[in-house]
Amino acid sequence: MNAKYDYPKTRAQLNQLIADLTQLHTNLHQIHWYMRGSEFFRLHPLMDEYMDQANDQLDQVAERLIALNGAPYATTHEFLEHTGLPDEKIDFGQFSLAELMQRLVEQYRYLRDQYQKGIEVCDVEKDLPTQDMLNGFKTEVDKNIWMLNAYLNQGPFAGE
């Protein structure tokens, strides 16, 4: 590979995002299945939207990694080994809807920070197309954090 187009840190961060987006999707599915409460009819379909968003981002990140001559993680073992997001069993009634949404805000904050790290790595390695993609995804995650915090009657940066 031409050294001019070699982005080792970007590839590593994209694989980190693959692990994290895969785990986020699993966690969203868990919330989707285990939620109960008066806001169920509103929040249940929202989790479908969030899962679709995570899947879209995951596919684009993996395809970009391949375009950069990388090899995306593709096993549950790799995902679990590399993700920074929780992988824990929950039960019905263990968390209120508000608690589930607060946990989701925390996971989105983690993902936002991983996107920011990727943006910075891309800047150093001068991979502007990947940086542009990650900027867009970070914008989507920032909006999710804002909206979930609004649901929780908090400002966009509450708890940070």
Q: Would residue 160 count as lying in a domain? A: no
Q: Would residue 156 count as lying in a domain? A: no
pLDDT at site 116: 98
Banded model confidence at residue 3, pLDDT cuts 50, 70, 90 = low
> What's the total number of domains in the chain?
1
Non-local (6+) Cβ contacts of 29 within 8 A are 47, 51
Q: Would residue 83 count as lying in a domain? A: no
CA–CA gap between residue 87 and residue 24 (Å, rounded): 9
Q: Would residue 50 count as lying in a domain? A: yes
| Over residues 27-34, mean pLDDT | 96
Indicate which CATH number applies to the domain containing 34.
1.20.1260.10
Whole domain around residue 27: which residue ranges?
Answer: 7-73+95-151
Q: Would residue 125 count as lying in a domain? A: yes
pLDDT at site 153: 93
Give this prediction's pTM. 0.94
What whole-number percentage of the chain has pLDDT above 70? 98
- Residue 2: pLDDT over 70: no
- Residue 125: pLDDT over 70: yes
Q: Would residue 159 count as lying in a domain? A: no
Q: Would residue 36 count as lying in a domain? A: yes
Average per-residue pLDDT for the chain: 94
From 105, 89, 82, 108, select the one nearest 152 (Cα to Cα): 105
Q: Which of 30-39, 77-86, 102-111, 133-142 has the lowest mean pLDDT?
A: 30-39
pLDDT at site 157: 78
pLDDT at site 1: 53
| Over residues 60-81, mean pLDDT | 97
| Over residues 42-61, mean pLDDT | 97
Q: Would residue 129 count as lying in a domain? A: yes
CA distances to 51, 90, 119, 126 from 26, in Å: 9, 12, 25, 32
pLDDT at site 59: 98
